[in-house]
Amino acid sequence: MDTHILDSKEQRRTSEEIYQQACNVLPGGVSRNTVFRKPYPNYAATASGIHVTDIDGVQRIDFANNMASLIHGHAHPAIVSAVIEQLYKGTAYTLASEIEVKYAQLLCDRSVGFEKIRFVNSGTEAVMTMIKASRAFTGRPKIAKAEGAYHGTYDFAEISQTANPTNWGDLDHPNSVPLANGTPQGVLNDVIIFPYNDIERTIAILNQQADQIACVLIDPVPHRIGLLQGTNEFIEALYKWTRENGALLVFDEVVTFRVNYGGTQDNFKVKPDLTALGKIIGGGFPVGALAGRSDVMKVLDPRESKLLFPHSGTFSANPITMTAGYAAMSLFDKEAVLKLNALTQKAIDQIQEAIKIADVPVCITGAGSMFRIHLKPKAPTTYREAYQTKEETALVNELLDHLYFKENLIMINTCACMFSTVLTQHEVNKLAEALLNGFRIIKPKLEKLF
């Protein structure tokens, strides 16, 4: 089967026909908007290692890895073997499982801030549980989060996720902007928005409602803000403020736990009170987790005479996910983390060289095994600097389409890469060359913007 784009009318029709059927039963023909593309999405047939092959026979190198969740690429033999063995023992029970305890021990040993952990089913659910646990512990209603930060689809977590110049307000007092139509005003009232990495403005904003804030929610390398790592000074200032005002500092490391062996929090002197996890800890299966201080996690403890936060979930800590996650994270040891981060840095260096050769106003941000390409001459330091105009977004899509259809590479739709341990220098070379080709194609349009 030819691994390039197939031009036969019959084979082109295959994906189109499936999508037409999908539109009859799924809103927009998809269950997650991230896989939608015009005129229709491609449908996966098989995936193994670094490659995904669609039903039209096109094989692509995967630098997205299911939105950062596949740390070892597709169908890793050790994970597949472990899961198959567990499948014969059952997929879910109304009992606890030993692998849940074994995996909890493994994760708690990775980070000094993880005294207790509870498993849930997604990153969104992990953040939701973290927010509710913070409220239960402090008895306070409000949360504070950074403008532009993505924390899943929970009402409170998604406020100001897509704020734009028409509605984001003054930087000293950013507006709480709803994402979904019909979001209750009460939700907006209970979410305080601050500018990421801006200590003076953030502290001033927090001080205005200090006695109402349950937690300050931080993604330490927020993807939607621009994949910009929080500065040590910013994180330490927030930590100090939460100590002085009886609030919790909570991290969303659903995406960023891959940055170091113990997550991005290894980079900071201070540790969060709670951390939400997901993505890579599932070994390719749906997962979420909440980890942190024992006294805070006690709000979930059913042995307490007064249970502050009753919590359960039919598929929480199901043995398939626990087995896959345990295998994946055992393989992602300290040596593997360092090796993958080093390969990612080589990729960044080569892409920066491609930027110089193409002579285009492009920059890169990122941390660990992930990076994002910005069609801007200078690396953004804030959400408002990273914000893309319609013209920039159109060029990003043109670049991504070139990579996807002409170079047979998959990137995240923000023009980001999330590396897996099965990638090698060979794939890095292909990525850099493909981007050089793409930069040259969009250069005339890009230069008109700057």
Cα separation, 143 vs 213, in Å, equals 5
**Full-model pTM:** 0.95
How many C-beta atoms lie closer than 10 Å to residue 37's C-beta?
A: 15
CA nearest to 137, candidates 34, 11, 290: 290
For 166, other C-beta atoms within 10 Å of its C-beta total 7
**Domains of the chain by residue range:** 9-71+333-449, 77-331
Give the DSSP letter string of 343-400.
HHHHHHHHHHHHHHHHT-S-EEEEETTEEEEESSSS---SHHHHPPPHHHHHHHHHHH
Q: Domain 9-71+333-449 is in which class?
A: alpha beta
Q: Which residues pair with 49 in a beta bridge?
A: 74
In contact, 442 and 398? CB cutoff 8 Å: yes
3-state helix, strand, coil in the chain (%, to 5): 45, 15, 40
Closest CA to 425 of 3, 69, 50: 50
- What per-residue confidence (pLDDT) applies to 14? 85
> In the prediction, which pLDDT does 10 show?
44
CA 217 – CA 251 distance, rounded (Å): 6
State the Cα–Cα distance between residues 357 and 160, nearest whole angstrom: 37
Do 234 and 382 meet the contact criterion of CB atoms below 8 Å apart?
A: no
Reference 367, options 393, 395, 348; nearest CA is 348
User: What pLDDT is stored for residue 13 in this prediction?
Assistant: 64
Alpha carbons 432 and 117: distance in angstroms, whole number: 40
Q: What's the CATH number for 77-331? A: 3.40.640.10
pLDDT of residue 16: 86
Instruction: Name 197's Cβ contacts closer than 8 Å, sequence gap at least 6.
Output: 228, 230, 231, 234, 381, 382
Cross-sheet strand order for the sheet of 274-278: 116-120, 288-292, 274-278, 248-252, 213-218, 142-146, 191-194
State how far the Cα of 40 lies from the Cα of 44, in Å rounded to an integer: 13
Expressed in angstroms, the distance from the first to the final Cα of the chain is 43
Give me the residues of the chain with pLDDT under 70, please: 1-13
Given a contact cutoff of 8 angstroms between Cβ atoms, the answer to whether 134 and 215 are in contact is: yes
